[in-house]
Amino acid sequence: MPRGKHRRPRSNQLTRRVVAAGTGGAALTLPLLGATQASAAQPSQSAPAAAQSVPQAAQPAKSLTYTVAKGDSLYRIADKYDVSGGWKQLYKDNRAAVGDDPKLIRPGLKLKVKTAKTDAAKKTATKSSAPAKPAGGIAQATQASAKTYADNLDGWIREALDIMAQKGIPGSYDGIYRNVMRESSGNPQAINNWDSNAAKGTPSKGLLQTIDPTFQAYHVDGTSWDPYDPVANITAACNYAADRYGSIDNVNGPY
């Protein structure tokens, strides 16, 4: 047998060399590929993309106790705390406490409110999620859902005016304020129990002293059915004044 007939070529030694990777003190032996095999093991480029689409778990609903204040309605409370199902669900959850008439809730009443987030968290989320101002000087539209109003006469009038603008009901801040101060001095719980309307069993109520038949006939969709609700009372009265006088601005005395 000639010497060296079955010797292995030197180039094959590269495929048999090994590298040891430390794994907690133990040595893991891995084959080291030769230069001629390097193209067979290209790493995947799409693996990291799978980690980018992990869905976020839904936030469970929270329950809080709300104390009814003057001027409140189930509609306003449900809207304020983003109650799933709106005021109807809020009424369903508190029917034993509210009673048979959802329009009548008294100040001091304790309500259980189920919300996915508190009002403060809702405002923070709305603010943080607002889109950035576009480049090039393009004006950014203001989202109505992000607008908030003070819980006082000024805020009630401004909220009513925004609703009236959407519904095409005329009226100005000064016209509403002037008539509110004459009719109720700004007290949303005001009621007239002595005039002819009261004698007929339909006393005038609320900021603009509407009687129930007028309030119901001129009620504006999207507002509370509670005649003592400030925004609902203003919008219904302005809707009535627009129909009869052209605008609340044209009303300068009892109407």
Measuring CA to CA, how many Å separate 37 from each of 11, 12, 31?
A: 13, 12, 12
pLDDT (0 to 100) of residue 116: 64
Query: Which of 184, 186, 211, 185 lies closest to 199, judged by CA?
Result: 211
**Domains of the chain in sequence order:** 62-127 (3.10.350.10), 148-250 (1.10.530)
pLDDT (0 to 100) of residue 178: 96
Pair 95, 48: CB distance under 8 Å: no
Determine how many CB atoms are found less than 10 A away from the CB of residue 69.
13
- Alpha-carbon gap, residue 157 to 177, rounded angstroms: 8
Averaged pLDDT, groups of 10, the chain, 255 residues long: 45 41 40 39 45 51 84 83 87 90 86 70 45 45 65 95 95 96 95 92 95 95 95 97 95 87
| DSSP code at position 68 | -
How many Cβ atoms sit within 10 Å of the Cβ of residue 109? Answer: 16
State which H helix or E strand residue 23 sits in: strand 18-23
Amino acid letter for position 194: W
In this prediction, residue 49 carries a pLDDT of 45
Q: What is the 3-state secondary structure (H, E, C) of 220-236?
A: CCCCCCCCCCHHHHHHH
pLDDT recorded at residue 248? 96
Phi, psi for residue 80 in degrees, rounded to 5: -65, -40
**Measured distance CA(27)–CA(22) in Å, rounded:** 5
Count of Cβ atoms closer than 10 Å to residue 204 Cβ = 22
- Model confidence pLDDT, tens digit, residues 221-250: 999 999 999 999 999 999 999 999 999 999
Rounded Cα distance, 39 and 23, in Å:
27
Tens of pLDDT, residues 84-100:
888 888 999 999 999 88
* 11 backbone dihedrals φ, ψ, rounded to 5°: -65, -25
18 φψ region: left (φ > 0), alpha (ψ -120 to 50), beta (else):
beta
CB 83 within 8 A of CB 119: no
Reference 60, options 19, 117, 4, 12; nearest CA is: 117
The Cα 35–Cα 137 span in angstroms is 57
Residues 197 and 75 sit within 8 Å (Cβ to Cβ): no
